[in-house]
Structure 1
Amino acid sequence: MATLSKNTENTASGTREYLTFRLGEEEYGIDILKVQEIRGYEQPTRIANAPEFIRGVVNLRGTIVPIVDMRLKFNCSKVEYNSFTVVIILNLRNRVVGIVVDSVSDVMELASDAIRPAPDIESAIDSSCILGLGSVGERMLILLDIEKLMSNVDMGLVASAE
């Protein structure tokens, strides 16, 4: 669908760019530098005994890519595939992984002072994988450390950096 250009000029001034996407009613952001491309959803090939949130794998130009449905991972109430459903292809520590989301919103630039610490509450997301909450006008973004999330023990998709 689209390959994203990676603009790193603003990181020195304390701003970072985040790709924003929706899961149900919530809006999330991930570091744009981790995003390789955005594709329309296609049914992956199921892998036996894989956790339910790992939908399967797809062949992306010769690379076998595991596909994680973030709606299942985050226990969203309804998981529905439609024309807005997309797969964000990530490049994390030289491993390619795809995540299924309801829709991609846009790329937002956030200054470090627009990001607040996330409250320490019980949720489907490990709190250590949340970088903070970004606010842009009336919008509130949950900023994810997608690399850390994908390297969690239950995911095991990316080797940890230790």
Structure 2
Amino acid sequence: MTKQLITFQIDDKLLGVDILSIREIRAWTPTTAIPHAPPFVRGVVNLRGTVLPVIDLSERLGWGAIEPSARHVIIVLQIGHQLHGLIVDSVNDIVTIDESAMQPPPDLGQGIADRHLEGLIAVEGRMAMVLDLRRMTIADSGVALPEAA
């Protein structure tokens, strides 16, 4: 069975998510900080009247915080019943993969990154980390934010 991923970059790392979860890709917009939010939650932005929590994906995966600039983008995803924005360096391409070619993430102990991966897949000679969006929610961290409409 095949599925389509949208691939994107954080530093030199290639990641992907199922294209069906993508709602839009937008330019970086400064966020409004939320008190007592975990460090990976940059804040929220107004998305046409909807409160959109914005996650620093690099920080969430344990790679350190991004200092967003005009070159960064926010990928707006539907995760469960809520919209989330992920800050990434750039969006690359849409790729079609054979799901049977996806390898499970290696067992690296208690690493945050491998807990958030569905698997690894070769894309144009590079390994892409496919995110498991069910494990990417803010609710996973024990922080409650307003529900998206």
Map of 2:24 onto structure 1: 37
2:52–2:85 Cα contact (<8 Å) kept: yes
Map of 1:124 onto structure 2: 112
Whether 1:20 and 2:20 are equivalent positions in the alignment is no
- Whole-angstrom CA distance in 1 between matches of 2:41 and 2:138: 14
Of the three residues 58, 67, 71, the one matched with 1:80 is 67
Of the three residues 64, 78, 88, the one matched with 2:51 is 64
Of the three residues 77, 82, 97, the one matched with 2:84 is 97
- Structure 2 length normalisation: TM-score? 0.86
Structure 1 residues without counterparts, runs of 5 or longer: 1-13
Whether 1:144 and 2:131 are equivalent positions in the alignment is yes
1:93-127 deviation line (CA, Å, top 9, x unaligned): 22111111111111111012321121111323253
Compute the displacement of 1:43 (Å): 0.6
Counterparts of 1:100-115 in structure 2 under 5 Å?
100-115=87-102
- Whole-angstrom CA distance in 1 between matches of 2:80 and 2:6: 18
2:112 corresponds to which letter in structure 1? A
Of the three residues 41, 44, 57, the one matched with 1:54 is 41
1:70 corresponds to which letter in structure 2? L
- Structure 1 length normalisation: TM-score? 0.80
Map of 1:4 onto structure 2: none
- Whole-angstrom CA distance in 2 between matches of 1:105 and 1:43: 22
- Whole-angstrom CA distance in 2 between matches of 1:157 and 1:140: 34
1:44–1:55 Cα contact (<8 Å) kept: yes
Moved over 4 A (4+): 155-158
Which secondary structure does the structure 2 equivalent of 1:125 belong to?
A: helix
- Whole-angstrom CA distance in 1 between matches of 2:64 and 2:141: 20
Which secondary structure does the structure 2 equivalent of 1:153 belong to?
A: helix
User: Residues 36 and 96 (structure 1 numbering): CA distance in 2 closer, same or farther, change over 3 Å?
Assistant: same
2:105–2:114 Cα contact (<8 Å) kept: no
Structure 2 residues without counterparts, runs of 5 or longer: none
Compute the displacement of 1:76 (Å): 2.2
Higher mean alpha-carbon deviation, 96-105 vs 113-122, is at 113-122
For the aligned residue pairs, the C-alpha RMSD in angstroms reads 2.0
1:65–1:96 Cα contact (<8 Å) kept: yes
Aligned residues: 144
